[in-house]
Structure formats: structure tokens, C-alpha cells
Amino acid sequence: MDHTYRLSFRTGDVRFEVESTDLAWLEKKEKEYLERITSTPPPAPRSLGDVSQMLPQNLTINEFFKKYVKPNNISSRSDIVVFFVYFLQKVLKRDALKTADVAQCFADVSYPNYSKLNVTDILHQAKRKGLLNNVNNLWSLTITGEDFVLNVVTGEGK
């Protein structure tokens, strides 16, 4: 009766398992797979800074809106303001964001009835979702808000 040989190997996220009745073939595959694993460097972990750098620094608010908000069917105004705050902070490198800065983004992208929007209320809705912070009437992203935008930008969310 033939014996079945099984080899299982795991290191970090890399794993392989080989099974055969031919011991020589199994040893050959073990050597081949181990060489592949040790010769290929592991992928660098993605950091938030790396993703922010993939956005062109000369990107306009209209281009940003058309590329990331519209195609991903982001229709909630509170979600849209998170994208606007992200754009202002990460692309334009602005720190202190006032409500008027975000309201101007709605005007710049020609959002329907932008002049009638209560932007303060919309920003507070995003704050209640945990996506924005408001300190001394200045708006900024939370880590959760940044993750929300980056997941959409990289195609991992929504």
C-alpha cells in the first residue's frame, strides 16, 4: 500500500500545502516553494500616508468629486462633506477648516441648490457619525473619516 505524504508550511501570511504519494516529487516542490518565498520580498504594508500621496497634488475639487464621489454613488451629504474635508486637508494641505470652506466646495462642484444647504448641519451629521471633529468651530477628519475616504479611493469600500 502506498503512503501519502503531506507537507504543510506557513510563515506570516504565506502558506502552502502539498500532498503526494511520490516522496521525491514532494521534496522537489518543497524546495521550489521555499525558494519562491525567500526570494520574493513581502509586500510593504500600505500606510495611510502612501495612499494620500497617490492623489495628484494639482487635483481640483471638481476632478476629485468626479473621480471619487460620483462614480462610487456617494449621495449622502454628510458623506460628501467628509470627502470635501479630506480634499482640503490632504490635497490642499489646509489645517484650519471653517464651515465656509466646505460650503465653497459645494459651490465649486455646482452641487444642486448649494446656496440653500445648511452646511453646518451637514457637518454636524458627519461628526455624529464619527467621521469629523469640530474644535473651536474648525473642522478636521477623524481617523475613521480618513479611513472611510481612503477605502473608497482605493476601491476597498462602498
Question: How many CB atoms neighbour CB 79 within 10 A?
Answer: 21
pLDDT at residue 42 tops 60: no
Does one domain contain both 12 and 77?
no
Domain shared by 88 and 112, yes or no: yes
pLDDT band at 21 (very low <50, low <70, confident <90, very high): confident
Determine contact, residues 88/97, Cβ cutoff 8 Å: yes
Structure confidence at residue 157 (pLDDT): 59
Higher pLDDT, 152 or 47: 152
Q: Which residues pair with 7 in a beta bridge?
A: 18
- Asked whether the predicted pLDDT for residue 99 surpasses 90, the reply is yes
| CATH number, domain with residue 121 | 1.10.460.10
Tell me the percentage of the chain whose pLDDT exceeds 70.
Answer: 84
Residue 20: beta bridge partners? 5
| Residue 44 in domain | no
Looking at the predicted structure, is the pLDDT value of residue 44 above 70?
no
Question: pLDDT at residue 1 above 70?
Answer: no
> Domain check: are 29 and 104 in the same one?
no
What integer is the mean pLDDT of 38-46?
57
Question: What are the residues whose beta carbons fall under 8 Å from the beta carbon of 97, sequence distance 6 or more?
Answer: 85, 88, 89, 138, 139, 140
In the DSSP assignment, the letter for residue 14 is E
Same domain, 114 and 65: yes
pLDDT band at 88 (very low <50, low <70, confident <90, very high): very high
Same domain flag for 35 and 53:
no
Cα separation, 127 vs 124, in Å, equals 5
pLDDT, residue 102, reads: 94
pLDDT at res. 9: 77
Q: Cβ(82)–Cβ(148) under 8 Å?
A: yes
**Residue 79 lies in domain:** 49-153
